Structure 1
């Protein structure tokens, strides 16, 4: 029996993708997605259970500072002393068969609570995404009657709605406040996006223009997105002083108009809101065989240099653009991709190579090959990296779910997706946060 069609899945939404250049991603990637990819269906796989806040993964909430604003300086510091922590800081992550039959989906479980209470719910099958900021959950993934308070739009009192664009479509929903619990860490009263929240039933036309509506498990391929990328908030300074119809809305009685949104009320990176271990994350995943693997287990570790399990060690630091989060990639054929990103939320490598045979959205060379490449930070520091590419149809027919050599087409950017994370410890440092290598944003491995 032939393998089911596999959809290209790019979560790339490092800030520029969700701003000035995200239209290029949608034009170059989404058209291929819609033309060449299918995918399975299935149930939503929701945990749906209400759990007490005293469960082992839900320690009492420590105090936390508000997320920092976007940095205005052009260059980060080169050293820093990081406060040490003893808080449990590891969340289990895995790649395995999913209800929607999508390969290379890195999943975790997330607990959200009504702020300041023990009324909590744990949601399974939430995708871990180092290419975006903020927690986004399907409203349908929470138990019936589980009510989170609204976050106000702008300086008023009307509830906020939000449009968030990704490489393969958009999410639309209400902005609500929750205590987000991950391992022993807590991000108190954090603005999150509740996707397809019935309080904001009508998607604005501007948002609909970003392509596929990822407002259910079939389209989102998960119950939510845990964005732990290199910035504190999803839009940042661009949304603070004036309305931006690509982002935030004021929604009195469900009728929404574009609105400015203060940083403290934007959907925010939960890691930046932790009391400690709040300067970034480490994704630690084992290597997988060339033919793939049926399941992979790894760790999402909070903090960089704050505990013995997140030491930076000898990792090469690649500083990212402080506005966009991009680094640069040069491949062995001399092609240069100045818009390059490291993104656990993309299920393959994504780049343009006319010499590779394509099968729909994916590359299907007649024999496996390895492409040499160099990744360079904004300060000129670079490191070599190999890019293995196998025949996607052969990989899908294997019945495995985790691959380090799955690659597809992107005509505008270079995406080092989840395949690159296998067999590595990859660090993502958050903007303006002190680390042993200076302030983020940067990637390191």
Structure 2
């Protein structure tokens, strides 16, 4: 199966526009996301398928300085390197970047390590299938917020992605990766039997991704630009397709959600190395690779292995997380870097299509210019090959796989052969505060 993985974009005020509507794609399954929160977050409070090698060193103009921070970035000696991999999957989904995450009952050694969790720079928060949690791992439920909630109501959450939605309970867990700990954070347990009924507005958002075959992974690790998945909008308003108060009969009503109880980006809750991540992935050749091993490095400018060096810093919109990409003179203001999308998705009137993918007769070399809100820009070169030819290789990591979209989604192929930095909003780095991308 040559699955398409694309994300949803949540704009300010909680409006949800899925990339399924921004693109010509319809009825696609798969995980992956590009979810932005409804407003900025407080810095302390914490919601698929190989070709020409992409340029590993983009040309750049007016780079943002990677030094002279407003204050000193707190340094760390905690081991901060966590392995990630692209390899074959049971659903044969291409370009699926995954890792393992350890989930524990808060404050205990009662833990389980969940493999095959997608790494997604386009969303915030850990979401795991209930089927991956043993019965002995009883994670505390997060109670719903009054007035919609009472002492007897559970907290449910709908998370909308471009290729479907997840629904489940909000529970509290310690989350461990490398030697880092995010203690007592809210996570989403997908298909949790305690909230069996999917609200109608959530169910209308797309295809349900509630099983390993539908989600194509065992969970999604959102390590994007924000510390929580919804932000200020959910604090003040009961927004549709976000948080719910669910009574014992299974009836659920939209409710407000305090920031501290929103599904949290685990990196933002580490004691140190908590201002973002670096994805460091090797390059692949024109026919792709069967397996690719890389690293997710926690922190930016907090240790010797996560310094920015000469990377170009592209500040992102503080609400949407967008930057602007220009291709062939046409600017696309809805642009983002999303390891949870498994192709390079963008508009084109010249590339031939085959279903959901681009299939040019020969590999096409392109260059686009990405501009941040700080005025800094970079011009990465990339290639698009024939998707059918790529799939025939039986490889799983491709850097020149792409498809149509009205937005510009720099998916996982962009990350190969680069160190890509994702800085969390309001968190201090050696290049100032996030949110920003850098490469």
Return the TM-score normalized by structure 1: 0.87
Q: Deviations over 1:4-39 (max 9, x none)?
A: x412101354x439942x32523234x6242xx689
- Please tell me whether residue 32 in structure 1 is matched to residue 9 in structure 2: no
- Please tell me whether residue 376 in structure 1 is matched to residue 371 in structure 2: yes
For 2:247 and 2:304, how far apart are their aligned partners in 1? 48
- The alpha-carbon deviation at position 334 of structure 1 amounts to 1.1
For 1:368 and 1:17, how far apart are their aligned partners in 2? 38
- Aligned residues of 1:152 and 1:265 also touching (Cα < 8 A): no
Q: Which residue of 1 aligns with 2:310?
A: 314
- Aligned residues of 2:422 and 2:435 also touching (Cα < 8 A): yes
**SS of 2:431's equivalent?**
coil
- Aligned residues of 1:318 and 1:442 also touching (Cα < 8 A): yes
- Please tell me whether residue 261 in structure 1 is matched to residue 238 in structure 2: no
Q: Which residue of 1 aligns with 2:82?
A: 91
For 1:17 and 1:396, how far apart are their aligned partners in 2? 38
Q: Which residue of 1 aligns with 2:431?
A: 437
Q: Which residue of 1 aligns with 2:319?
A: 323
- Aligned residues of 1:286 and 1:424 also touching (Cα < 8 A): yes
- Aligned residues of 2:384 and 2:402 also touching (Cα < 8 A): yes
Q: Which residue of 2 aligns with 1:11?
A: 7
For 1:351 and 1:131, how far apart are their aligned partners in 2? 16
For 2:209 and 2:194, how far apart are their aligned partners in 1? 17
Q: Which residue of 1 aligns with 2:53?
A: none
| Gap change, CA 1:294 and 1:33, over 3 Å in 2 | farther
Which residue, 343, 351, 355 being the options, matches 2:350? Answer: 355
- Aligned residues of 1:304 and 1:429 also touching (Cα < 8 A): yes
RMSD (Å), alpha carbons: 1.9
Gaps of 5+ in 2: 31-41, 48-67
For 1:131 and 1:67, how far apart are their aligned partners in 2? 21
- The alpha-carbon deviation at position 167 of structure 1 amounts to 1.5
Gaps of 5+ in 1: 40-64, 71-76
Please say which of residues 78-87 and 369-378 is displaced more in the overlay.
Answer: 78-87
- Aligned residues of 1:100 and 1:217 also touching (Cα < 8 A): no
For 2:275 and 2:130, how far apart are their aligned partners in 1? 29
- Aligned residues of 2:225 and 2:423 also touching (Cα < 8 A): yes
Which residue, 240, 245, 249 being the options, matches 1:245? Answer: 240
- Aligned residues of 2:291 and 2:395 also touching (Cα < 8 A): yes
- The alpha-carbon deviation at position 128 of structure 1 amounts to 0.2
Q: Deviations over 1:331-388 (max 9, x none)?
A: 1x21211000000000000111021100001000000011110000011110111121
**SS of 2:278's equivalent?**
strand
Which residue, 141, 153, 156 being the options, matches 1:150? Answer: 141
Q: Which residue of 1 aligns with 2:421?
A: 427
Q: Deviations over 1:156-182 (max 9, x none)?
A: 432210001111111100000000001
For 1:24 and 1:100, how far apart are their aligned partners in 2? 23
- Please tell me whether residue 288 in structure 1 is matched to residue 288 in structure 2: no
| Gap change, CA 1:176 and 1:355, over 3 Å in 2 | same
- The alpha-carbon deviation at position 152 of structure 1 amounts to 1.6
For 2:243 and 2:97, how far apart are their aligned partners in 1? 28
Q: Which residue of 1 aligns with 2:297?
A: 301
For 1:219 and 1:28, how far apart are their aligned partners in 2? 22
| Gap change, CA 1:263 and 1:78, over 3 Å in 2 | same
| Gap change, CA 1:367 and 1:18, over 3 Å in 2 | farther
For 1:294 and 1:25, how far apart are their aligned partners in 2? 28
For 2:29 and 2:199, how far apart are their aligned partners in 1? 26
Runs of 4+ aligned residues of structure 1 deviating over 6 Å after TM superposition are none
Q: Deviations over 1:207-246 (max 9, x none)?
A: 1121111111111110000000000100000000121122
For 1:24 and 1:273, how far apart are their aligned partners in 2? 28
For 1:434 and 1:24, how far apart are their aligned partners in 2? 31
For 1:200 and 1:346, how far apart are their aligned partners in 2? 28
- Aligned residues of 1:67 and 1:264 also touching (Cα < 8 A): no
Which residue, 226, 231, 234 being the options, matches 1:231? Answer: 226
Return the TM-score normalized by structure 2: 0.89
Q: Which residue of 1 aligns with 2:161?
A: 166
Map 1:3-152 → 2, pairs under 5 A:
5-13=1-9, 15-16=10-11, 19-20=14-15, 22-29=16-23, 32-34=25-27, 67-68=44-45, 79-152=70-143
- The alpha-carbon deviation at position 440 of structure 1 amounts to 0.3
- Aligned residues of 1:82 and 1:436 also touching (Cα < 8 A): yes
Q: Which residue of 1 aligns with 2:62?
A: none
- Aligned residues of 2:43 and 2:426 also touching (Cα < 8 A): no
